[in-house]
């Protein structure tokens, strides 16, 4: 028996036994922070026990709307009222969108995934938790684990990309970093895995729109990251706005109870997304707010964010018999359990300390460096110390967009520009040319005098995030014109791309001698880029998403099943038969990335070419390895990737599935044997009923630099 768990249960039941129905429903109510004259009535609602949690922001699209400074004294006063004056003395849970940084801003989550370094990601989220809890934040609405194959969707920036294995690794890293080794400690925050489920599959990349996801795809692609978050100890989950196959998730017992709780094993509480309960009317499954509340609570949605459906209508739903008080009790039980585990009863108030963020900024720089992906390098990078460098483009002196969307508390004025950081490295050898505008000054002679031209281009942070879908993922016409104009000077040109989402690369990469994809990489983005350009650091990022040639080729993702005809275009099989007017092979595939050296792989070797299914079921694993040699002159990190292909199965399987990666530093001239142990949990799949199966048959194993590797061996499950 778990004594601690048993003690928590006893405490919870003791609290619930004394609560009125109104107070119980209050624990399930999460309004947003009051504005102006609303504050006094808000305090009265706290006194009445009608508020269980407070959203520490204002508006549905807080990630792109200014939120102002956190008033810690105000939140402490609300907490004092809750603890000292409310009927049951239950503390309030304060939640805020601390997505990829607080005061110190780290790379957007999609960029973090590009680091292929979960340990560093987890360390950075520990930094984030320390900063955020210092401002009285108990609960952050991250990690976002929405698998996405359509970069038109603005929220692709918040997730781990197109691969479920990477998604699971990032889920574990963020949950572990945010919640720490003890969730009850004052510098630990509650994590919230979101959005459950399928939000990233919104049709056409249009935010909030419908999705069609088969149960097979749900279990094998969309659910793994959530399973990982649950196993890592995530205590809260946020439901998604969207419907899946005609069922709004907000009111779906299938998704919130049968799958999330019963199959994935989640035992924390579920919070709705902003106004998602009342939107059931617009979605056409409810006619009144009371029906919205009843459908949602009966489905397993515990806390209602902002729209007041629960606090205004659940009492009447209980009286009318559409909702049992026992259902409400169970939701309250989950909320109180989380509050107790988080130590909220013992430490309800924020106690601010002076924080030295020096180490956090160093971690931010390290992660920004490891997230940058070198896509192309034709003998330009690193830039020679003797070279005269011209810097041009809209991002040369940009600050705010380096931080990215969903940055509520980071400050643009504290963020160095690329020009400032490159000046530190290049001194008077750097000329910043026309950096404040895209207009070309034909009389400017500085570019002609430069040995290397760095083009700082990309997309504004305002074009990314929630409700920021775009129909065209190419960069702007004036930036493309700028690239072509720079090329006419005959100088070596380096494209430094600051984007939140994947963009179409066909019209860009051909006119550049080198391309570094640096994303919106946070407070230390510019310093990290400068380090890479001048060879202080060797780039080691890898793509967690496919970069297509054209916008019209999406969706384009690597873990696709094979066509019955010879047109597996992603893998180069007769791509001209996919479209007659273009070649839909990726410009840069999943897992791709260069560095300042070269690596040579041996053929993969397995300790055995056969393993019995019964041995796998008993826990036996098989080791596959390859020797990786650094054949260049620079010590650098290589991300060694393991993919599998189930050759013949009862259901179609992907042509490649990532099943392991190891980021390894290898000295110049050195060789490292990289090994992977794979077993039962790696070699199977989920059927359409959510049952995990491993079947007998042949499995191809690939070890290489990216998903297109043909460096393979084969085993057989017998």
Which element (helix H / strand E) includes 324? none
Q: What's the rounded Cα separation, in Å, for the pair 712 and 605? A: 9
CB 127 within 8 A of CB 359: yes
Q: What's the rounded Cα separation, in Å, for the pair 348 and 98? A: 19
Q: What's the rounded Cα separation, in Å, for the pair 367 and 363? A: 6
DSSP string covering 525-594, please? HHHHHHHHHTTSS------SS-B-SSGGG-S--SSPBPPSSS--GGGTSSGGGT-SSS--S-SB-TT--B
CB 72 within 8 A of CB 56: no
Catalytic residue among 135, 273, 304, 682: 273
Nearest CA to 221 out of 546, 470, 561 is that of 561
Q: What's the rounded Cα separation, in Å, for the pair 27 and 9? A: 17
Residue 273 annotated as catalytic: yes
CA 284, distance to chain mean position in Å, is: 31
Q: What's the rounded Cα separation, in Å, for the pair 665 and 306? A: 48
3-state class (DSSP) for residue 105: strand
Nearest CA to 175 out of 126, 219, 238, 134 is that of 126
Burial of 260 (0-12, 13-18, 19+ CB in 10 A): buried
Distance set, CA 521 to CA 64, 370, 454 (Å): 16, 10, 18
Long-range pairs for 424-430 at CB < 8 Å and ≥24 separation?
424/530, 425/530, 425/531, 425/533, 425/534, 425/536, 426/383, 426/389, 426/534, 429/386, 429/387, 429/388, 429/389, 430/389, 430/390, 430/391
Nearest CA to 137 out of 178, 181, 193 is that of 178
306: left (phi over 0), alpha (psi -120 to 50) or beta: left
Return the DSSP state at 205. G
DSSP string covering 376-431, please? EESS--SPPTT--EEEESTTSS--HHHH-SS-SS--GGGSPPHHHHHHHHHGGGEE
Rounded (10°) angle between helices 309-320 and 325-341 = 140
Distance set, CA 133 to CA 122, 151, 189, 351, 708 (Å): 16, 33, 7, 9, 43
CB 333 within 8 A of CB 16: yes
CB 593 within 8 A of CB 638: no
How many Cα atoms within 13 Å fall on the side-chain side of residue 607? 10
Q: What's the rounded Cα separation, in Å, for the pair 171 and 598? A: 31
Rounded (10°) angle between helices 164-179 and 224-231 = 30
Nearest CA to 557 out of 528, 583, 586 is that of 586
Q: Copy the structure tokens of residue 650.
A: 């009862």
Q: Which residues are catalytic?
A: 273
């Amino acid at each position: 028996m778990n004594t601690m768990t048993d003690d928590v249960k006893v405490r919870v039941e003791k609290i619930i036994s004394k609560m009125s129905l109104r107070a119980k429903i209050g624990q399930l109510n999460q309004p947003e922070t009051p504005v102006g004259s609303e504050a006094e009535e808000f305090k009265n609602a706290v006194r009445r026990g009608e508020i269980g949690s407070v959203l520490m922001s204002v508006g549905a699209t807080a990630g792109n709307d200014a939120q102002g400074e956190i008033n810690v004294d105000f939140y402490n006063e609300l907490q004092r009222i809750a603890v000292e004056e409310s009927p049951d003395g239950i503390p309030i849970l304060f939640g805020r969108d601390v997505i990829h940084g607080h005061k110190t801003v780290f790379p957007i989550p999609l960029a973090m995934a590009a680091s292929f370094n979960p340990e560093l990601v987890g360390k950075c989220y520990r930094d984030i938790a320390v900063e955020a809890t210092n401002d009285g934040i108990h609960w952050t609405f991250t990690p976002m684990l929405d698998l996405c194959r359509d970069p038109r969707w603005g929220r692709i920036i918040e997730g781990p990309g197109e691969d479920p294995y990477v998604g699971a690794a990032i889920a574990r890293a963020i949950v572990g970093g945010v919640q720490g080794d003890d969730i009850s400690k004052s510098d630990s925050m509650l994590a919230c895995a979101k959005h459950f489920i399928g939000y990233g599959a919104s049709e056409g990349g249009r935010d909030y729109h419908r999705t069609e996801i088969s149960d097979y795809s749900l279990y094998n692609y969309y659910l793994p990251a959530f399973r990982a978050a649950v196993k890592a100890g995530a205590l809260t989950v946020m439901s998604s706005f969207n419907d899946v196959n005609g069922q709004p998730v907000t009111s779906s017992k299938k998704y919130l109870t049968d799958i999330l709780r019963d199959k994935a094993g989640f035992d924390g509480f579920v919070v709705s997304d902003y106004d998602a309960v009342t939107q059931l009317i617009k979605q056409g499954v409810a006619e009144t707010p009371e029906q919205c509340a009843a459908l949602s609570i009966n489905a397993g949605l515990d806390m209602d964010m902002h729209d007041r459906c629960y606090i205004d209508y659940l009492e009447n739903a209980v009286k009318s018999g559409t909702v049992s008080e026992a259902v409400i009790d169970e939701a309250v039980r989950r909320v109180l359990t989380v509050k107790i585990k988080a130590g909220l009863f013992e430490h309800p108030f924020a106690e601010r300390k002076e924080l030295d963020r020096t180490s956090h900024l160093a971690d931010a720089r390290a992660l920004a460096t490891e997230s940058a992906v070198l896509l192309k390098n034709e003998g330009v990078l690193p830039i020679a110390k003797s070279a005269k460098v011209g810097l041009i483009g809209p991002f040369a002196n940009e600050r705010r967009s380096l931080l990215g969307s969903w940055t509520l508390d980071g400050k643009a004025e504290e963020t160095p520009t690329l020009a400032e950081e490159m000046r530190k490295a290049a001194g008077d050898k750097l000329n910043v040319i026309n950096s404040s505008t895209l207009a070309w000054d034909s009389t400017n002679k500085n570019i002609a005098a430069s040995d290397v031209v760095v083009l700082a281009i990309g997309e504004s942070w305002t074009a990314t995030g929630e409700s920021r879908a775009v129909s065209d993922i190419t960069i702007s016409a004036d930036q493309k014109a700028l690239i072509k104009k720079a090329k006419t000077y005959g100088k070596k040109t380096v494209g430094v791309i600051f984007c939140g989402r994947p963009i179409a690369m066909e019209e860009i990469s051909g006119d550049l001698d080198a391309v570094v994809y640096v994303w919106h990489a946070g407070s230390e983005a510019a310093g990290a880029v400068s380090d890479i350009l001048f060879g202080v650091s060797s780039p080691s990022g890898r793509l967690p998403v496919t970069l297509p040639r054209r916008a019209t080729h999406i969706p384009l993702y690597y873990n696709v099943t094979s066509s019955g005809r010879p047109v597996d275009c992603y893998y180069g099989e007769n791509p001209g038969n996919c479209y007659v007017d273009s070649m839909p092979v990726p410009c840069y595939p999943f897992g791709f990335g260069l560095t300042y050296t070269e690596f040579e792989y041996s053929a993969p070797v397995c300790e055995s070419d056969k393993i019995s299914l019964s041995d796998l079921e008993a826990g036996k694993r098989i080791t596959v390895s390859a020797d990786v040699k650094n054949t260049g002159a620079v010590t650098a990190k290589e991300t060694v990737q393991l993919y599998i292909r189930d050759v013949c199965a009862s259901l179609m399987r992907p042509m490649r599935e990532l099943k392991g990666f190891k980021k390894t530093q290898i000295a110049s001239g050195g060789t490292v044997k990289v090994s992977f142990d794979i077993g039962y949990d790696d070699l199977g799949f989920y059927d359409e009923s959510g049952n995990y199966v491993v079947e007998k048959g042949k499995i191809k194993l690939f070890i290489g630099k990216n998903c297109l590797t043909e460096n393979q061996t084969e085993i057989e499950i017998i």
